Structure 1
Amino acid sequence: MFGLKHAGNGTVRDSLVYFDVRVDSPYKDLVLINGSPLESNPVPMSGRVLFSLSQDMLVKRVTLKLIGKFKLDFLHMGRDKKRSGVTSIVKDHKTIFETRWDNLLVSSQGNTVIGNDNNYVAEEGRRELAKRSLSSPVVSRLIKKTPNHVLELPRNGVTGTPYTDLYSDPSYAFHLPKGNYELPFQIVLPSEIPETIEGLQSGSILYSFEARIERKRKSSSMTSLLKEDLDALHQNHGPLTTYKYLRIFRTLSANDMAIQQEIRIGGTCKDKMQYEVSIPSKAIAIGSTTPIQIKLFPFQKGYVLKRINASLLQFFAVRDSASQIYDDQITTTKQSMTEFTEFIDNQEGLLTDVTEISPIFTIPDNLKKITQDCDLRGGLIQVRHRIAITIILHSKTTNKSLEIKAAIPVLLYISPLVVMKGRLVLFDNSNGNIHFRSGELVPLFNTTGLATPAVSDPATPAVAAEAGLSAPPNYQERVKDHLVNDENAQHDVQDRHLEGLPTAARSAPILQSDVGGMAASTEAPSYEQSSWQVNDEPPPIWN
């Protein structure tokens, strides 16, 4: 997930043996915001930049950037009569969010320069702060009195910000002895920050960190406490860079109306059939399932139920920099049901009276196939979903087929209580461009020790609340998270969840998928486990 970039001669891995960016979150490299932009407050985010040096290094500063990029790249087929059949290439990209940390050695607070106009810091105010900081007795004792100041850090590394409130002046250099370093950073994300969109074929919004160690060039006027090692410190003066992918998602608040909203659609085929299709909750978590209640009221005898097809339709629209809107729709999954002996008393599926059928529809569990419902600021990307139902019957009396069609609007959201997967991300070390490895997915939430809801149902939030969980959980409340390791507790949570479900949902048949899928992962590694490759060793502790 991360790599090193070297802009100079020599080997950088000899001195920098580990370099990483970590976010303080219960979910590895992922921030989960509770509620829509209108509901949520600005979200504080913090983390650490970690690196390990095998030898001393002289640096100018350690910088960090968080960048969010919007990108369009697809082929557009003209639909109007004048441009019918004409294909054009649509490409657009821009930075929609950027936060900078000028030097983590002197300040952990970031400055958002794109995406939040209220977070600018006046340059004049910063210089005034620098004057006060440099005049303080503590800083005066730390600065070595040389024409170009060299600030000495403690031996064996540092945890924390070593020189708080010290203005980052180019004339200063920092002597970092070999050891482990852990530099904190923090920022307040705006409430309207766009969420990550990584699986949509037409457009994407991706966030990434760029951490950089800028080494000091050799100067004849600069001295060091280790004069004999000065040449070694300057042997390679190019910057050292690492990248880290960050996902920013939203989940529904526990009192969202969509969770309690039942969707019911009905109609009548004149003189033939009356039907009703419903789901218990409009909001469905990606990777979960939902029961579909189908009621058929035949007006004539002789109708045989042959097949029920269900498809999940994804509608999306993207807007480029010229405010041109492009929209399309795709079918993300198709499922069907042909055996009805559990609901109909005869083998051939003949409808003799009012018939109720309750199959289970499965939502795809990865963000390559499906994108969560969203409506991003400025109309950059909009995504909506519907479940399309087709009921196929055959009349033995007239020997004709009858098709009943219904489309149910649903709201698909991301929940950490459900196992789901995202795309595997790799970086181009030369420029930091993001690439997705084809066909490979990674688990997004560690659901070990938690009972995963099998069926989306209005009872789910209440069940989770009884279990001591926030459903959906709030990123700001991450400090309250705890792990449930007792097997009895797991069974207790699962039993209480099933008690809140309709009886039909517990044993209802599952619609068979027409498209092969991957088996859901039931375990996700811890942050530390997932941070290392198979053959990697943890950074050494230097004495």
Structure 2
Amino acid sequence: MHGTPQECAGNVLRGQLVLEVSEPTKIKSIKLSFQGKSKITWPGVQNEEKVLFEHDWVFLHPKKYHILEPGNYQWGFELILPGSLPETVEGCEHGSIQYRLKAVAERHSFALNLSTQKKITLHRCSFLNTEDALDTVVANTWANRVIYDISVDLKTFTLGDEISLSVNLELLGRDLRIHEYKCAFNECVTYTVGSNKRSSAKTLKSVRGVDFHRDGGIWSDSLKLRIPNTCLYDSNNHIIQISHQLKLSIIFITDDNRFIELRATLPVTVTLNTDDMELPPYREYIPYKTYSCDIYDNLENINFSLPSYDSVISNTPASSMDLSAPPIYVM
């Protein structure tokens, strides 16, 4: 998804359901479902689990049974996903947002149903040319004693990126000396259940400064901090909000040996790398290899186009198989 839930036009989920039959099999129905669910489990707060979005397909309508001859059958599907859907959120301590496809081939009463599931990950990539994304500086005067200027080279990052933080200080009080300073990269997660909100925060990484360099009345230094790959992406949906910030702490010592601390925060955004959004066209999709025979080794003979919803088409079969005939329907 590109952009915020308010500005995103949505996206299309496309795919194929593939069923391999190794012997004549009685199937009552074949269905596919897509569902998005959120779950919040915060101790002391009312837990909540709800369905965000769902859609069902029926590829073989329920009957007493259909007989499927040996072979591979494919059903194409596609679904328009609204741009307002919250993105996938996993790895949080007290909640999650997940999407999943589930296929079920229903069999007769004394046989186990065939079923499989596939997780669908929905990422949201924010536009990087907004005014907020370009705001990379925090400057102010602290207690009429220090003028500070804190800046980063970028405001939006992805996993594994290195943040370069520049700090410039002008000490207005002659009784101040810089004792130590450090920068922490913090992650905050807020969960919403009805009108209740609960937040948790943790420091993912921190780095200490080595030494300020003095040029006239200006003290300056630069710190580098790499975003860990375990970091979550920023999220601003109505269920789980995730944000990140750089928190700078500078401790001064006065002439009378008292310690005072300057704290400043600079929000940063962690988002999906836009290079990861360049997916191949759907017609370049290559089906997986089945377990019974290597029917996809000769790719020149494969038709990758989607079948219609009402058709049941087999892939390239072995020469001894005749899969051109449709399934046998028994009332």
Q: Quickly name the TM-score band, shorter chain normalised.
A: 0.7 to 0.9
Query: SS of the residue aligned with 1:259?
Result: helix
**Structure 1: runs of 5 or more not aligned:** 1-32, 76-87, 106-167, 218-235, 346-350, 418-444, 446-472, 483-526
Deviation track 1:193-237 (CA, whole Å, cap 9, x = no partner) reads 1111112222211111111111256xxxxxxxxxxxxxxxxxx63
Alignment of 1:3-152 (within 5 A): 33-75=1-43, 88=44, 90-103=46-59, 105=60
User: Structure 1 or 2: larger strand share?
Assistant: 2
Alignment of 1:240-389 (within 5 A): 240-270=114-144, 272-300=145-173, 304-320=177-193, 323-340=194-211, 344=213, 353-366=217-230, 370-376=231-237, 379-389=238-248
Query: SS of the residue aligned with 1:258?
Result: helix
CA–CA distance in structure 1, aligned partners of residues 175 and 141 of structure 2: 20
Q: Which amino acid aligns with 1:176?
A: L
User: Structure 1 or 2: larger helix share?
Assistant: 1
| Matched residue, 1:410 | 268
Evaluate the alpha carbon distance shift between residue 404 and residue 313 of structure 1 in structure 2; reply closer, same or farther with a 3 A threshold.
same
Is residue 284–residue 413 contact of structure 1 (8 Å, CA) maintained in 2? Answer: yes
Q: Which amino acid aligns with 1:65?
A: S
Question: Aligned-pair distance for 1:327?
Answer: 2.0
1:199 to 91, 96, 100: 91
Residue 283 (structure 2) pairs with residue 391 (structure 1): no
Q: Which amino acid aligns with 2:42?
A: F
Question: Aligned-pair distance for 1:278?
Answer: 1.7
CA–CA distance in structure 2, aligned partners of residues 324 and 336 of structure 1: 37
Could you list the runs of 4 or more consecutive aligned residues of structure 1 that deviate by over 6 angstroms after TM superposition?
none
CA–CA distance in structure 1, aligned partners of residues 51 and 206 of structure 2: 39
Residue 281 (structure 2) pairs with residue 479 (structure 1): yes
Q: How many residues align?
A: 296
Question: Aligned-pair distance for 1:538?
Answer: 4.8
| Matched residue, 1:462 | none
CA–CA distance in structure 1, aligned partners of residues 220 and 209 of structure 2: 15
Is residue 67–residue 207 contact of structure 1 (8 Å, CA) maintained in 2? Answer: yes
CA–CA distance in structure 2, aligned partners of residues 211 and 338 of structure 1: 55
Q: Which amino acid aligns with 1:184?
A: G
CA–CA distance in structure 1, aligned partners of residues 180 and 138 of structure 2: 21
Question: Aligned-pair distance for 1:89?
Answer: 5.4
Question: Aligned-pair distance for 1:73?
Answer: 0.9
TM-score using structure 2 length: 0.77
Is residue 288–residue 365 contact of structure 1 (8 Å, CA) maintained in 2? Answer: no
Is residue 264–residue 279 contact of structure 1 (8 Å, CA) maintained in 2? Answer: no
Query: SS of the residue aligned with 1:399?
Result: coil
Is residue 25–residue 69 contact of structure 2 (8 Å, CA) maintained in 1? Answer: yes
CA–CA distance in structure 2, aligned partners of residues 384 and 90 of structure 1: 23
Q: Which amino acid aligns with 1:339?
A: V
Q: Which amino acid aligns with 1:238?
A: L
Alignment of 1:437-452 (within 5 A): none
| Matched residue, 1:131 | none
Is residue 14–residue 78 contact of structure 2 (8 Å, CA) maintained in 1? Answer: yes
Is residue 265–residue 408 contact of structure 1 (8 Å, CA) maintained in 2? Answer: no
TM-score using structure 1 length: 0.49
Question: Aligned-pair distance for 1:312?
Answer: 2.8
Is residue 263–residue 281 contact of structure 1 (8 Å, CA) maintained in 2? Answer: no
Evaluate the alpha carbon distance shift between residue 338 and residue 42 of structure 1 in structure 2; reply closer, same or farther with a 3 A threshold.
closer
Evaluate the alpha carbon distance shift between residue 299 and residue 260 of structure 1 in structure 2; reply closer, same or farther with a 3 A threshold.
closer
**Structure 2: runs of 5 or more not aligned:** 296-316, 319-331
Deviation track 1:410-434 (CA, whole Å, cap 9, x = no partner) reads 23222254xxxxxxxxxxxxxxxxx
Is residue 191–residue 199 contact of structure 2 (8 Å, CA) maintained in 1? Answer: no
Question: Aligned-pair distance for 1:251?
Answer: 0.4
Evaluate the alpha carbon distance shift between residue 339 and residue 302 of structure 1 in structure 2; reply closer, same or farther with a 3 A threshold.
farther
CA–CA distance in structure 2, aligned partners of residues 301 and 59 of structure 1: 86
CA–CA distance in structure 2, aligned partners of residues 205 and 184 of structure 1: 26
